[in-house]
Amino acid sequence: MKAQGLHSNGTVRLAADIGGTFTDIALFDATTGQLTFSKTLSTPDRLVDGISSGVVKAGSDYASANLFLHGSTIAINTMLERTGAKTALITTDGFRDVSRSAASTGPTLTIFISKSTSR
């Protein structure tokens, strides 16, 4: 499942989103400025197979990518519908907001932004 020679030097950025029915791939080649999309059937038994098929369908391979972003609509849907396995969240002392954020409770959800301190 590997496309050969279509992209090189790690100039490709890949993004994948796995949904319940389809897996969507977006591929951006920084050298050419070309943006390509593909859609394949999701593969619930082995999710990576759906991603791999979509990457090849978009005309690339993992080795050409210098960035890979992954989203999982299927995971979000599982949490919202409460249809997944029972799980636990364990945090250390001083991180009580983590559990409140995970449960979407509390006055507001906090967005954390990282700033570089180098000068």
What count of Cα atoms within 13 Å lies in the side-chain half-sphere of residue 87? Answer: 11
Q: Are 75 and 66 in contact (CB under 8 A)?
A: no
What mean pLDDT is predicted for residues 8-36? 90
Please, which pLDDT band fits residue 114 given cuts at 50, 70 and 90? very low
- Cα gap 23→9, rounded to integer Å: 26
Domain range list for the chain: 12-86
CATH topology of domain 12-86: Nucleotidyltransferase; domain 5 (3.30.420)
The whole-number average pLDDT for the span 38-67 is: 94
In order of 8, 12, 103, the CA distances from 29 in angstroms are 10, 5, 38
Mean pLDDT (whole number) for 74-84:
83
Share of the chain above pLDDT 90, in %: 45
Which of the two residues, 16 and 81, has the higher pLDDT score?
16
8-22, 49-63, 65-79, 96-110: range with highest mean pLDDT: 49-63
Q: Is 113's pLDDT higher than 80?
A: no
Whole-structure pTM value: 0.62
